[in-house]
Structures are given as C-alpha cells and as structure tokens.
Chain A
Amino acid sequence: MTSRSNMPARKVLPPILMIGFAVVYGGISLTYPLGTVLRPGPGMFPLLLSVALLGVAGVLLWIGDADEIIWSSAMLRPSILILGSIVAFGLSIETLGLVPAILAMSVLAMLGRVGARPREVVGLTAFLIVISVSIFVLGLGLQLDLMWR
C-alpha cells in the first residue's frame, strides 16, 4: 500500500519543483535585455513571471501542501515504455517512414502493460499499420512516407 505518512519530502517536493522552474526561467530571462519600464525588453515579462512563480511557490512551501504525492513503482514500467514508444515514433518517422515507426511504437506501447501476450502484440500492430495507412495516407491524403525512400 501507498504510505500515507506525512514525511516532509512529500510536502516540500511540489513547491520545490516550482521554485526550481522559476529559478531556471528567471535566470534565463536575465540573459535577455530587460529594457525600460517605458519600453520593456524581451526579458522583462518572463522575469516578472518567474518572480511571481517564486513568490507563489514560496507561499506554498510556507503554508504547507495539503496534497500528498502518490507515487508507486507501478508507474515506472508504463512511464518508461509509453514515453519510449512515442520517442521511438518521433525518431523513426522522418528517417524510416510510417510503417516502421508504428511498428516500433506499437510494440513498445503494448509492452507498457503488464501481461501483454505476444499474439496480441503482433495482431494489433498489424491492425494499426493497416488502419493508419488506410485512414491517413489513402483516406486523408497526408504526405507520409510509408517506408524509407
């Protein structure tokens, strides 16, 4: 079971994530010209926003966070494989073409679920290739290379 203890880390991590984001974006903003109040430069508005975010996150840290982070090891496998399947599609679509991209994506995505059977993986992947080609390439006429040129 997920622990419901009020470990301090559980309360401070969300505001700290935001503080980190604010510091990074505020720091980058400072590298752009700030301009004047009359004619604000590209750095002014993002800097103000970063300071605001820092303030809000600071208040959140101070009053404490009522929520609890619920993280479980069950998240790990789908996170890695689903995100991996999208990245695989993104990397292969331009160089290898649509069919290999879907092949890679579908297999990785199906493995993201505990208990996927090999027959299902093969069957669904074939099905997805057929419907995507018929809908997007034949039906809607999108310019997608099926295989590498």
Chain B
Amino acid sequence: MSIFHDIAQGFSVATSFQNLALCFGGVTLGTIVGVLPGLPPITTIAILLPITFHLDPTSALIMLAGIYYGAQYGGSQTAILLNLPGTTSHAVTALEGYELSKRGLAGPAVVTATLASFAGGCIATLVVMTLAPALGGVALRFGPADFFSLIFLGLIAACSLTRGSFLKGLCMVVVGLLLGLTGVDVNSGQIRFSFGQPGLMDGINFIALAMGLFGVTEIIQRLAENGSDEGRVTSFRLRDMMPSASQFRDCVAPVLRGSAIGSILGIIPGAGPTVSSFVSYVTEKKFSKGRAKFGTGALEGVAGPEASNNAAAQTSFIPTLTLGLPGDVTMALMLGALMIHGISPGPQVMTEHPTLFWALVASMWIGNLMLLFLNLPLVGIWVKLLSVPYRYLYPAVLMFIAIGVYSLGNSGFDVILTAVFGLAGVIFVRFGFEPAPLLLGFILGPMMEENFRRALLMSHGDPIIFVTEPISASLLVVAALAIGGSILATYRRQGAADSNAFQPPIHTGEGDA
C-alpha cells in the first residue's frame, strides 16, 4: 500500500541535511533552556517558539520536534535531580528519580530515563506506523461517559501512587480536582473559587502549583535538616553514570509494559497521555521485580513511566492531528505552533498531507534519537549540578523558579501563589499527604466536569449512563476493584502499623507543634 511510500517520504524529508541540522539545534537549545530549574517544558517551548517562525512549515516542525524533546529531557533532569517536575508525568518520574538522586544514584536514574523514553518512543512510532489508520477511529468511539470513567480510573491509579494511605491519596486527588475548577466556568461564565483575586480568574497557574508543591516544599524540608549535602556525586565518569547490567535487565520489562500502556492510552485524547505515566508507575509498583524498593528509589519506577510517557506522546499525535484534541498542555502548545505554520488539524490530515504527517512522526523519532547521542555523554555535566553545595544551590533554584513562574504571565501574583502552594506542600507532606495525585486531579478536574455534564446531557439526566455504556462500565469495574483492593490493603496494614508507622524523611526536630 501507499502508506509505506508515505512513511518513506516522510523520513526522507526529515533526514535532509538542513532538517537534521535544525533538529540538532532544536534539541540542543531545548535541553539547555529546559534543564534550567523552574523552566518546565511548556515554558521552554514557549520561549524558543519564535525561533521557528521564519522557517518553512516542515523545517519549523522538525525544529519544534527537536525543541520538544530537548525540553522534555531537560524537564526530566530537573525532576530527577532537584524534585522540580514541570509536568504531571515528570511528577511521576520525580517520585523514584529524586529518591535515587538523594542516594547518589542520579547518574543511573537520568540515563535510565533517557534510554527508557527513547525505547518507548521507538515502540510507539512502530505502533503508529502499523496501526495509525485503524487507530484514528478508536478515539471517536469514546463517548463522554467513557471519558469520565477513564479519568476516574486514572485518578484512582494516582491514589495508589502514594507512599502513605490510599485514602489520603484520594483526598489529594479531590483537592486537586477542586483546585482545577478555579476560574471561569466555560459553560455558564460563572467565576468560581477565585476568592476575589483577579489573578485567579483564569484559573490557578499550573507551574506555580507544581513548583510550589514540589520545589519550594523540598527546599524548606532540606533546610530544616540544615541543608545537608546528601546525594553528592563524586565521580562523573560516564561508566559510573550507567546503570549496571542487572539494573538494565530489570528495567526491560517495565519499559515494555510502560510502552504498551502509553501506546494504548496515548490514542485516547485528553486524559490518556496524562494518565499513562501514573498507570505505568502503579503497574510497576504492583508487578515489577523491584517493587519492594518503590518509594525509596527504584529504577523500574523511572523506566516504566518515562517509556510510557514518551510512547503516549507519540501515539497522541493521532488524536492531536486528526481530531485536534491535544493530549496535554505541552501538546496543545505544539499544536498551536503547528497551526501558526498553517497546519490545521482534522480527519483529513493523514490522507491529504501524508508527507507532513509522517515527516512529523519521523522527526519526533529523529529528535528523540539525536537526544540520545547528544546527551548521554553529557549526563555527567547535568549531574555535576548536584556537586554544588546545597547552600549555594537552593537560592539559585529559588530564583529560577521565581523568574520562571513570573515570565509565564508577567504576574507577580503567580509568584506569590507559588509561595502559598509551597506552604500548603509543607503542611501536606508533614501530614502525610503525597502531593503527586493532587497534580493529576488538578489537570483533569475541568475535563472530568465537562464530560460529566455532557454524559448527563446525552442521557437526559440519567446517571445510569455511566454503567450502561460498555467501555465506561468496564473502566468503572476496574476502578472499583482497585478501590476495594486498596482499602482492604490499608485496613490490613493498619493492624500492623502501630509499631511501624510511616515516617516522612525528617528526624531532626526537638520541639513539636
């Protein structure tokens, strides 16, 4: 069939010398800007976007792919090294990645993230090539009730992320959902939960939320331990950065599972890519060989979600381009950039502009490959960041966070909001609430409400639609089983918990509040 011709043509466009050079430039710039703490992928891409404006559409798109990967890669660095996740999926990477960093294993964690994300990208590219025409229709089969239930399942998966209790994870998810509703309600124009602050009318700034809850909270925690330089890496030879052969083997299955999860969920627009790394993390926590190490730094917990996240990014191009429904905010920005270059999404994009579609898929893959060769030798340089004594590192990190948050909307209010969430983060962590599920709830809140309303509208107000639609019903059954299992496990643990209570990692205090 001509599809192979289209694929070949796409690759040949993407591999011209000029385009390879642009991709290389994009990857390099994306990494350099993206690795600055406080500048998440979305900011990095937004800052670098204007560079591509005067290129022709295909070249611009290829450079964008490079920037996208560079930014994503830079984002996973800051998540692993400094606990500064700029996206929801990086919040998952940070769970195990940062624990590894604190144990001086930042090198293997970063290398694993890079390799796993490359593997996930490759597998998903193959999936897109072989199944793209068939997959385009799958997304259309998803009705509002199904979306609602998928989001519900994703949120339940996120509750199981927590090192503490399932119920506390559930609390965090609901708090996230509620915070996500801040701002103007699209259906009625009602401004909700803005507490009279003009700065909240457009909703809470995600970056302020993420940087506050994770980055600022972590700095305060470390300083309370008097800023010890734990996790100092002393050797920066490439050999010491690499995971050992056995660690490498242990990560193969998580990468494969993560790629499968990401490839499937990526096709579902909206919630899919966001949920995928959470689902992968929970899967590995339950099934991988190293599940006992989860929570204290498990490479499997970095490998699975990174593979899943990147696989989902690849397959999410199908709904992004055919339905115009981006998978997450970063993809939404990419889509916007493509539209600036005259590429309008729609069902015809794959049939009418096959070269462009495949050039995009090809350039994403090449961007990913280039990143691998460009950055593996440089891992030592990024990890060296951790050799800076913490007392010099944290003021710099704070400054980057503040400037990064401010530059998003030139809003001093957002910076102050970061401090508010920093305080909330400290209280949450002290109280045993893990903040990662909150982020997922925050992102999915508006989407969940929207589909909830639409489903009820379709069923004429009868909530039974959530259990009569087959896809929705099966997703809800899985979610119900997960809830039942987790509550049972919590209950059992409770019995044995008294002598072995969960301890947040701080033991220096002398007084109590």
Contacts and interface: CB of A to CB of B under 8 A. Distances in A.
Given A50-B178, A65-B432, A73-B511, A113 B419 contact: no
A13 B402 contact: no
B502 A66 contact: yes
A17 B427 contact: yes
B360 interface: no
A82 B403 contact: no
B501 A66 contact: yes
Nearest to B212: A86
B223 A78 contact: yes
Nearest to B220: A78
B226 interface: yes
Interface stretch (B119-127, B168-176, B371-379, B471-479): B168-176
A115 B227 CA distance: 10
Given A36-B461, A40-B456, A90-B412, A75 B399 contact: no
Interface string B492-513: 0110011001111011111111
Nearest to B453: A40
Nearest to B176: A49
A82 B419 CA distance: 8
A28 B178 CA distance: 11
A56 B167 CA distance: 7
Main secondary structure of the interface of A (DSSP, over half): helix
Contact of A86 (B181, B185, B422): B422
B406 interface: yes
A42 B432 contact: no
B506 A72 contact: yes
A66 B449 CA distance: 32
B413 interface: yes
Interface in B147-184: 164-165, 167-168, 170-171, 174-175, 177-178, 181
A60 interface: yes
B215 to A, nearest CB: 10
A33 B188 contact: yes
A66 B406 contact: no
Nearest to B175: A21
B512 A120 contact: no
Nearest to B48: A140
Contacts of A39: 453, 456-457, 461
Nearest to B420: A83
Given A49-B174, A82-B422, A113 B512 contact: no
Nearest to A74: B224
B418 interface: yes
B129 to A, nearest CB: 36
B460 interface: yes
Nearest to B227: A113
B33 interface: yes
Contacts of B175: 18, 21, 53
Interface stretch (B264-272, B338-346, B389-397): B389-397
A67 B503 CA distance: 7
B407 interface: yes
Contact of A59 (B164, B167, B501): B167
A90 to B, nearest CB: 3
Contact of B431 (A49, A67, A85, A140): A67
A85 to B, nearest CB: 6
A114 to B, nearest CB: 6
Interface string B404-427: 001100101111101100110011
Contact of B506 (A57, A64, A70, A79): A70
B197 interface: no
Contacts of A116: 391
Contact of B165 (A50, A67, A140): A67
Contacts of A25: 178, 193
Contact of A72 (B36, B501, B511): B511
B484 to A, nearest CB: 14
A90 B168 CA distance: 32
Contact of A46 (B181, B392, B490): B181
**Interface-central residue, A40, A72, A116, by most chain B CB under 10 Å:** A72
B457 A38 contact: yes
Contact of A112 (B223, B419, B452): B223
A72 B170 contact: no
A89 B461 contact: no
Contact of A74 (B399, B448, B502, B509): B509
B336 interface: no
Contacts of B427: 17
**Interface-central residue, B36, B223, B507, by most chain A CB under 10 Å:** B223
Given A38-B457, A78-B223, A142-B47, 16 more contacts: A25-B193, A33-B188, A41-B188, A42-B190, A46-B181, A60-B171, A63-B490, A63-B491, A65-B168, A66-B494, A66-B497, A70-B504, A72-B508, A83-B422, A86-B401, A105-B395
Interface of A: 1-4, 6, 13-14, 17-18, 21-22, 25, 28, 32-33, 36-42, 45-46, 49-50, 52-53, 56-57, 59-60, 63-75, 77-79, 82-87, 89-94, 98, 101-102, 105-106, 109-110, 112-116, 120, 124-125, 128, 131-132, 135-136, 140, 142-144
| 9 tightest A-B CB contacts, nearest first | A72-B509, A90-B415, A67-B432, A38-B461, A78-B223, A90-B416, A86-B419, A37-B461, A42-B190
21 contacts: A14-B168, A21-B178, A32-B190, A37-B462, A40-B453, A53-B174, A56-B171, A68-B501, A68-B503, A72-B512, A82-B219, A83-B419, A83-B423, A87-B416, A90-B413, A90-B419, A93-B402, A93-B415, A114-B226, A132-B399, A140-B47
